[in-house]
Amino acid sequence: MLGLDTNVLVRYLVRDDPLQFERARRLIKRKSARGEPVLVSLLVLLETEWVLRSRYELSKAEILSALSALLDAVDLAFEDETSIERALYSWRHSAADFADCLVEARNGRLGCEATATFDSKALKLTGFVSV
């Protein structure tokens, strides 16, 4: 299995550097053709959202679309895809940050009854409780 770093995933999504995009695309296709998974970890996905939002100034709707499309890619594997799907659903329907939605989803899958926070936006999600 090969894991992707955030910069490779961002190049693959944004295509702002044609050479790096092509290198990333070929790498993913080559591994996939061999039946070897190419992993996107939760940390890389979280960083990717941040980079798309802060560096590329993409809207929430654009980022949701990009991340949802990634989940549909047959050449990629994801750490805890169920949590990612739940986080994207929560994020689509709330004012909370993607990071909070991912924390809520992942902690729920790990068996947490709730996640304690001081964050007022996160508290609007059902999986958070106030400290």
pLDDT at position 56, please? Answer: 98
Residue 75: both structure tokens together: 């050449």
pLDDT of 25-73, one tens digit each?
999 999 999 999 999 999 999 999 999 999 999 999 999 999 999 999 9
pLDDT at position 7, please? Answer: 97
Mean pLDDT of 119-129: 94
Nearest 10 degrees: Cα torsion 118, 120, 80, 44:
-80
Give this prediction's pTM: 0.92
pLDDT of 13-33, one tens digit each?
999 999 999 999 999 999 999
What are the extents of the domains in the chain?
Answer: 1-79, 81-131
Q: How many CB atoms lie within 10 A of CB 67?
A: 21
pLDDT of 75-121, one tens digit each?
999 999 999 999 999 999 999 999 999 999 999 999 999 999 999 99
pLDDT at position 8, please? Answer: 98
